[in-house]
C-alpha cells in the first residue's frame, strides 16, 4: 500500500457510512474515550505520537474526543504569514497536514488513531471518509453540508449565500497509521478565527452549529461523531491484516 503522509486535502467520494440503521448498530462497538476538558493541545499531540509509535499490528484502533483550551495550530508545511494577529493565544507548530486553524471551547475534536493498512484504505479515501462522517453528522441535525473544491474540510451555506467552514481536518500518517483528525464547531466564540487565515484562505468565513440554528450539547455531538468515525475502525477489525489493493 502506498501511504502518502501529511495529506490535508479531500479526494474521492464515499457514501454516507451510516446511511442505514445497521451501520449505526455496527459502529457502537468501536473504542472511543473523552480526554479531560479542556485538553492541553501539546500534551494530547505528544500522546497521539507516542500511541502511534508504540502500536503494533495487533493494537486496537482508538478515537479520542476532546475540547481544547484556546490554541492556534500550524501544520507541518504551514506558512507563518497565515497567522495574522494571535494576541494571547499560543501558536503551536505541529506535524499534521494543512495550514493554520484554531481550537477552543465549544468545538469538539476527534482524533482518529487507525491502521489504514488493516482497514484497506488509501489516504485519500480516508480523508474523504472523515469529511463524509461530518457531513452525515450535520445531516442528523438537519444541516445541509458539503465539500468545497480545493479547500479541505466541511462547509455550510452562510447567510450571504457564501460557504462558511464548520469543520476542519488534518492528519498525519506514520507507518500506515493515522493520528490527528477532525474538528467540528458546535457553539464557539468565532472571533479567534479573525486572527488567522483559516486553513490558509484569507477572509474564509467560519460558522458553527449554533449559528445554523442547532443548540446542542457538545458531548452529544462528540458521541454522534465518534459513532460515525467508528465505522472505519470496525472495518479495520473486520479485515484483520488485510492491506489496500496495489
Q: Which residues are catalytic?
A: 199
Between CA 38 and CA 69 the distance in angstroms is 5
CB 86 within 8 A of CB 193: no
CA distances from 20 to 28, 30, 87, 126 (A): 14, 17, 46, 20
DSSP output for the chain: -----S--S--S----TTSSHHHHHHHTTS-EEEPPSSBPHHHHHHHHHHHHHH--TTPPPEEEEE-BPSEEEE-TT--GGGB---TTS-EEE-SSSSSEEEE-TTEEEEEEE-BHHHHT--HHHHHHHHHHHHHHHHHHTT---EEETTEEEEEEE-TTSSEEEEEEEEEEEETTEEEEEEEEESS---GGGGGB-GGG-TT--B--TGGGT----HHHHHHHHHHHHHHHHHHHHHHTT-----
Amino acid at each position: 500500500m502506498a501511504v502518502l503522509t501529511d495529506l490535508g486535502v479531500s479526494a474521492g467520494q464515499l457514501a454516507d457510512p451510516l446511511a442505514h440503521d445497521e451501520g449505526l448498530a455496527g459502529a457502537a462497538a468501536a473504542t472511543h474515550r473523552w480526554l479531560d476538558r479542556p485538553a492541553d493541545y501539546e500534551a494530547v499531540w505528544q500522546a497521539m505520537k507516542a500511541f502511534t509509535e508504540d502500536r503494533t499490528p495487533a493494537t486496537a484502533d482508538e478515537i479520542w474526543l476532546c475540547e481544547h483550551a484556546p490554541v492556534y495550530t500550524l501544520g507541518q508545511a504551514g506558512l507563518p504569514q497565515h497567522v495574522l494577529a494571535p494576541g494571547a493565544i499560543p501558536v503551536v507548530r505541529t506535524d499534521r497536514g494543512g495550514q493554520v486553524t484554531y481550537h477552543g471551547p465549544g468545538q469538539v475534536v476527534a482524533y482518529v488513531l487507525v491502521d489504514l493498512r488493516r482497514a484497506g484504505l488509501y489516504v485519500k479515501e480516508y480523508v474523504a471518509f472523515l469529511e463524509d462522517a461530518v457531513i452525515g453528522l450535520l445531516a442528523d441535525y438537519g444541516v445541509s453540508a458539503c465539500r468545497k473544491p480545493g479547500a479541505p474540510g466541511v462547509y455550510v451555506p452562510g447567510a450571504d449565500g457564501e460557504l462558511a467552514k464548520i469543520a476542519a481536518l488534518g492528519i498525519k500518517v506514520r507507518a500506515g497509521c493515522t493520528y490527528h483528525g477532525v474538528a467540528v464547531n458546535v457553539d464557539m466564540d468565532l472571533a479567534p478565527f479573525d486572527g488567522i487565515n483559516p486553513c490558509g484562505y484569507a477572509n474564509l468565513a467560519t460558522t458553527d452549529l449554533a449559528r445554523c440554528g442547532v443548540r446542542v450539547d457538545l458531548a452529544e455531538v462528540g458521541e454522534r461523531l465518534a459513532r460515525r468515525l467508528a465505522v472505519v475502525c470496525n472495518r479495520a477489525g473486520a479485515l484483520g491484516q488485510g492491506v489496500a489493493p496495489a
